[in-house]
Amino acid sequence: MLTKEMERKLIEILKEDIGKQDVTSALVPEKKCKAIIKINENSMIAGIEEITFLFKTKGCKAKAFVKDGQLANKGKIIMEIEGRNKTILETERTALNILGRMSGVSNICYSTRKSLPEFKGELALTRKTMPSFNLFDKKAAKIAGINPHRTNLNNMILIKENHLGFFKTITEALVKAKKNSKGRKIEIEVKNLKETLEAAKSKPNRIMLDNFKLQNAKKTINELRRIYKGEIEISGGINLKNLREYAKLQPDLISLGFLTKNARTVDFSLDIKKG
């Protein structure tokens, strides 16, 4: 479901691409026409709701043949659009860019999650998303079964290393966080076992082990499970080569920057039907 904020952002993205006028499409004799969008590689699909909204906002009819979260094979027609040719032409590239990026994020999230059937915890995004596209990157991840983590900086308190530099101790930072949380979850990033044990005494909702080597993470999680009832997250330095080993430690959450940083835009094309 698109929020009003998402709808506003989509309109802004389209306006930015068009500028004052699509001067090339302005040369074309105006007429009603139909167009199809097809996928040019195998992928999970995400962004159908977004591009349907864009075309309908511009006065076109859009009929989707797949839903967000479905897998589609190369060559499948995923949507048919009917409307004024100039409108379809000026909306084309924005729609394909959104569809390609969201499907790319969803696809890498899906394949990563599928590769770890034995992992009982959650895989999550980080905040390494595309500027101005954060909401859509996170929606694409959620479609593929990945935890979007924080929607924005207002969503929860996450005390990181750079924040801790302004406090005397971890305990001081967490005490202040609890006094000002207003019901928000509190998470803290730690760098070693000593910091972890200090953080656990203040009982935050979640402790994040950041850039822990595998053996250090194993030792720290074992220690934490004895004294701490909150969630344990692992983040930093985790990639497809070592993900399975970290997953064996069974933390509650593993957050992965590569799910958005390494997402490859999926190839779609729009063709106007002749005649």
Which residue ranges make up each domain of the chain?
4-107+264-272, 114-261
**Residue-level pLDDT at 5:** 96
Q: Are the C-beta atoms of residues 161 and 155 closer than 8 Å to each other?
A: no
From the CB of residue 204, how many other CB atoms can be counted at a distance below 10 Å? Answer: 25
pTM of the model: 0.94
CA distance 179 to 164: 16
Exposed e or buried b per residue across 4-38, where buried means at least 16 C-beta atoms within 10 angstroms of its C-beta: eebeebbeebbeeeeeeebeebeeeeeeebbbbbb
Query: What pLDDT shows up at residue 149?
Result: 94
Torsion sign (Cα): 143, 144, 150, 151: negative
Token readout for 223 is 């220690």
CA 57 to chain centre: 25
Q: Which CATH fold would you assign to the domain 114-261?
A: TIM Barrel (3.20.20)
CATH 3.40.50.620 is the classification of domain 4-107+264-272 = no
Q: Residue written as tokens 């499948």?
A: 76
CA distance 102 to 68: 10
pLDDT at residue 27, as a whole number: 94
What's the pLDDT score for residue 1?
Answer: 85
pLDDT of residue 274: 67
Q: pLDDT per position in the chain (275 positions), as tens?
A: 899 999 999 999 999 999 999 999 999 999 999 999 999 999 999 999 999 999 999 999 999 999 999 999 999 999 999 999 999 999 999 999 999 999 999 999 999 999 999 999 999 999 999 988 999 999 999 999 999 999 899 999 999 999 999 999 999 999 999 999 999 999 999 999 999 999 999 999 999 999 999 999 999 999 999 999 999 999 999 999 999 999 999 999 999 999 999 999 999 999 998 65
Structure tokens at 165: 């530099």
